[in-house]
Structures are given as structure tokens and as C-alpha cells.
Amino acid sequence: MSLRSTARAVPQLLRTGLAETVAYRAEFVVWMLTTTLPLVMLGLWTSVAADGEFRGYSSPDFVAYYLAALIVRNLTGSWVVWQINDEIRRGILAMRLLRPVHPFVAYAASHVAAVPLRGLIALPVTVILLATTARDSLTHDPLQIALILPSLAGAWLLTFAFLFGLGCLAFFIDKSMALLDVYFGVFAVLSGYLIPLSMLPSWLPTVARWLPFRFMLSAPVEVITGRELGAGGAAQLVALQWGYAALILALALALWRAGVRRFEAVGG
């Protein structure tokens, strides 16, 4: 299908995705509740820093960090890996393959459609809390503020492409979901979801700075909080993030192409 036809299909795909998100409202709220780990970490670290700075973070710094992490996680988290895995294993992916729009576009549109609703639930409270309790720990540089949206979009694309690729492993491995636990463990540590990357022990912060996981969560958090960055640093960070997103997307699509050749469309 031509790019123009695909582009024409996207608004309807977004509408359908939004309708599905609303239809699955209970599941949606439960899913959102599973992303509240930053709030737990926030409680923990603000009490550690109650008597003074800890590893360079004051109590408001921790508030800013974890609330920003909560926003990023809510807006960029994705369940596409479960979706693809299930559709491959049950053979119902067949129905997507028969449609003249690349399934990546269809999956992506349905996931993008959920973002506004997630924002509507997660943003008001967290933004008000950020503005009232951690205002001084956020960036005030207008150029850096302008980069927040591109960094969130980059984090979304990178996370989505990575999980899309992970889902494609079901073409090759029967129990590929076991790898998701490994992924989530690595992601939690190396993305800054659990603790800020600078607080990781020994040589890990240096390694984590160059791995893709940082750009899924820590990078937009760094742009929002502005720690040790500045507008120039933030721009470099976002450029690197989009580079990673393009690379991971290319790998995920290559994995998809190879996988579809092996697809057995079981059942029916």
C-alpha cells in the first residue's frame, strides 16, 4: 500500500484505537496502576533525603525525578509485546497480515490512540504536584522545555519499537514471553525507572548512559528536570535518542520480516 493510502488510514485507526481503549476501561485503569512503582520509590527516597542531600539529590529533586518518571512511564509504556505474542501463538495475526496496511502501523496507531487518555488520567495530578512541590528542581530553560515533547515522542517510539521486536521473537521461540521478564529487569535498572542512573554503583552509570534503555525513560526525565544538561546537552540527548529509535525500529522490522516467513498461521 502506498504511503499516501497508509496516511489516509491512520486517522481512522486512531479513532478505532481510542474507542477500544475506552471499551477496555477497567483493564486500562488496572494497567495504569501497575506503572506506579515510581511513587513507591518516591516515598522511599524522599525519606532517605529528609535530613539532607543524598548522592546529590535533595528531597524535591527526588520528587521531581520520580514524578517525571511516572509521567514518562505512563505516556510511553506499551503492551504491544503481549499483543503480538498472543496473536502469533493463536494464529490470529493472520487477519492483520491480510490487510493492506503494515501491521506495525496498525499496532502503533492503536497504541498512540491510548496516549491522550493515559495523559488525561496521569498528567493533571502529577503536573500540579511537580509545579507545587518541586518547581526549583525542574528546568526553566525555554529551549529545553521545547525539547520535552520530542524527547517523550522519542521515548515512546524507542520503547514501542523495542517491545515490537521482542514480541516478534514469538515467531522463533515458543516461550518468548520469558524474555520479557529479563527485559523488564534490565529496563528497570538501566532506564532509571528504579533509581536515577547516576546513583547506580561503580561502572554501571557509564555503561547505562550509552545503552538504549536510558533513552526510554531517563532521557526525557533528564530533559524535564534539567539536571546537568542545559539546552545544548538536551538537544544532543534527544538526537541520540531518535538515532537509537531509528536503529531499533529498523531491527524490529527486520525481525518482523524474517518472522513472518516462518509464520505458520496455526489453527483454523
Partner 1 sequence: MIRATDLRKHFRVHKRPPGLAAAVRSLWHRKYETVKAVDGISFAIARGERVGFLGPNGAGKTTTLKTLSGLLHPTSGTVEVEGHTPFRREGAFLRQITLVMGQKQQLLWDLPPADTFAMNRALYDVPVAQFDATMKELTELLDLGPLVTKPTRQLSLGEHMKCELACALLHRPTTLFLDEPTIGLDVSMQLAIREFIRDYNQRHEATVILTSHYMEDVVALCPRVIVIDGGRLIHDGDLRGLIKTMHPGKLVSFTLTAPMADDELARLGAITREGNRVVVQIAEAALREAVGHLLASASVTDLSIEDPPLEVVMRALFKDGAAPATT
> Positive or negative CA dihedral for 13, 19, 22, 27?
negative
Taking the complex as a whole, the smallest distance from the CB of residue 265 to partner 1 amounts, in Å, to 5
Rounded to whole angstroms, the Cα distance separating 242 from 158 reads 8
Residue 26 touches partner 1, criterion: CB under 8 A: no
Q: Which stretch binds partner 1 (CB under 8 A): 100-108, 141-149, 193-201, 234-242?
A: 100-108
Whether 137 contacts 60, CB under 8 Å: yes
Taking the complex as a whole, the smallest distance from the CB of residue 22 to partner 1 amounts, in Å, to 9
DSSP label of 134: S
Of the residues 28, 31, 242, 263, which one makes contact with partner 1 according to CB under 8 A: 263
Rounded to whole angstroms, the Cα distance separating 221 from 225 reads 6
Query: How many residues lie near partner 1 (CB under 8 A)?
Result: 30
Taking the complex as a whole, the smallest distance from the CB of residue 8 to partner 1 amounts, in Å, to 6
Rounded to whole angstroms, the Cα distance separating 63 from 43 reads 9
Residue 11 touches partner 1, criterion: CB under 8 A: yes
Of the residues 44, 48, 97, 143, which one makes contact with partner 1 according to CB under 8 A: 97
Instruction: Give whichever of 64 and 108 is closer to partner 1, judged by the CB atom.
Output: 108
DSSP label of 57: B
φ, ψ of residue 54 to 5 degrees: the values are -125, 120
3-class secondary-structure state, position 54: strand
Burial label, 260 (beta-carbon count in 10 A; 0-12, 13-18, 19+): middle
Of the residues 52, 142, 201, 267, which one makes contact with partner 1 according to CB under 8 A: 267
Residue 135 touches partner 1, criterion: CB under 8 A: no
Residue 95 touches partner 1, criterion: CB under 8 A: yes
- What is the contact surface with partner 1 in residues (CB under 8 A)? 1-2, 5, 8-9, 11-13, 15-16, 19-20, 23-24, 91-92, 94-95, 97-101, 106, 261, 263-265, 267-268
